[in-house]
Amino acid sequence: MAKYSIVALTAALALAAPASAQVKLNGAGATFPNIIYQDWIINYNRAHATVQLNYQSIGSGGGIRQFSERTVDFGASDAPMTDSAIAAIQSNVLHIPTVLGGVVATYNLAEVQGALRFTPDVLADIFLGKITKWSDARITSVNPGLKLPAEDIVVVHRADGSGTSFIFTDYLSKVSPEWASKVSKGTSVNWPVGLGGKGNEGVTATVKQTPGAIGYVELGYAQINKLPFAAVQNKAGKFITPTLESVTEAAAGAMKAMDPGTDFRVSITNPNGDKAYPIASFTWFLLHKQYDDAAKAGELVKFVWWAETDGQGRAPGLGYAPLPKQLRPWIEARLKTITADGKSVWTTAAR
């Protein structure tokens, strides 16, 4: 019996050893890329027994805060950190782009057959509370052939600090002088009208449950939840349906203006290009330049590089556009600068 117990205990310890040897990495932040981040983490955890990744979708504002306070190992944001926020942590941050996504205007008009179209001024004035009925002539004039109801418009916006809000308000600030002066852009703004929802998930749910609602969510959330979304008139005057291809077109102009020394904090809303969707953005991992724990830093860099290479192939099926491959050597160069105990952790990250 004693012999059996010793054998059983030895076996149990052997089974427990991999779990105890695991490096645990925690991240938090943007809801915009949560769909693909959860997919990446599930697949990566399955294939790599030495690491256990966890990501909490709490909004970009919360992700920046927890990253800055070092309560998580990495953050995630759709809004790049401001110069003042970076200075507050002694510039100990790298913005690493992960995927491209589009923010779409989604709505709940069950009786309307066909996709709506919005001009920039109409979209801004809806969210300013100046256009209050779906039958308003400014909406119907750009939607010939669609019968729109004489129903109140119910605006739905984010209630939490949000990178999706930053992207949307960054766009509205570029196309509407009134929005820029009265509301401006940010992860949190004083919304003139509307109901608040927490996360892309909360806005999606509120729009689905509220007849006459209009909100803004990441393209993937609208697709997964089978919500309709509008075509938006771009800078070239074309009405563009948000697709992976039109989001990629939005990044093309930004790439021309970037150089290998960029810190990747670039806006690609309201871009040039006939085929470019106007409300698109990079989203970023926030990584420290210096870590205290070499094992954690090495595993984190290993995961991020996997996401930048193998993980990109999973993006289109989840409603995101993969990064342009031209960025890959620039990202690699940034990851090579991450250190722990004064040494680069790149050499310890299997690639």
pLDDT per residue as tens digits for the range 122-166: 999 999 999 999 999 999 999 999 999 999 999 999 998 888 999
Tokens of 63: 């992700």
Q: What is the CATH number of domain 102-257?
A: 3.40.190.10
Confidence class for position 268, pLDDT limits 50, 70, 90: very high
The pLDDT value given to residue 15:
42
State how beta strands 213-218 and 231-233 pair: unpaired
- Nearest in space to 33 (alpha carbons), one of 247, 329, 270: 247
Tokens of 17: 């050893």
| pLDDT above 60: residue 99 | yes
Which residues contact residue 273 at a Cβ distance below 8 angstroms, ignoring those fewer than 6 apart? 234, 235, 236, 249, 250, 252, 253
Q: Quick one: how far is CA 166 from the chain centroid?
A: 10
Residue 49 exposed, middle or buried by CB count within 10 Å (0-12, 13-18, 19+): exposed
d(CA 137, CA 292): 60
Phi-psi region of 129 (alpha: psi -120 to 50; beta: other; left: phi over 0): left
Domain 12-101+282-348 matches domain 102-257 at the CATH topology level: yes
- Nearest in space to 157 (alpha carbons), one of 200, 208, 109, 102: 200
Region 324-328: mean pLDDT is 89
d(CA 211, CA 134): 11
The CATH architecture of the domain made up of 12-101+282-348 is 3-Layer(aba) Sandwich (3.40)
The pLDDT value given to residue 67:
98
The pLDDT value given to residue 254:
76
- Would you say 184 and 44 are in contact if contact means Cβ atoms under 8 Å apart? no
d(CA 322, CA 101): 9
Give the neighbor-by-neighbor strand order of the sheet with 339-340.
290-291, 339-340, 343-344
- Nearest in space to 273 (alpha carbons), one of 298, 221, 314, 238: 238
d(CA 43, CA 22): 16
Confidence class for position 309, pLDDT limits 50, 70, 90: very high
d(CA 283, CA 170): 14
State how beta strands 339-340 and 290-291 pair: parallel
| pLDDT above 50: residue 18 | no
Query: What percent of the chain has pLDDT above 90?
Result: 78
Domain locations in the chain as residue ranges: 12-101+282-348, 102-257
Sign for the CA dihedral angle at 226, 227, 231, 232 comes to negative
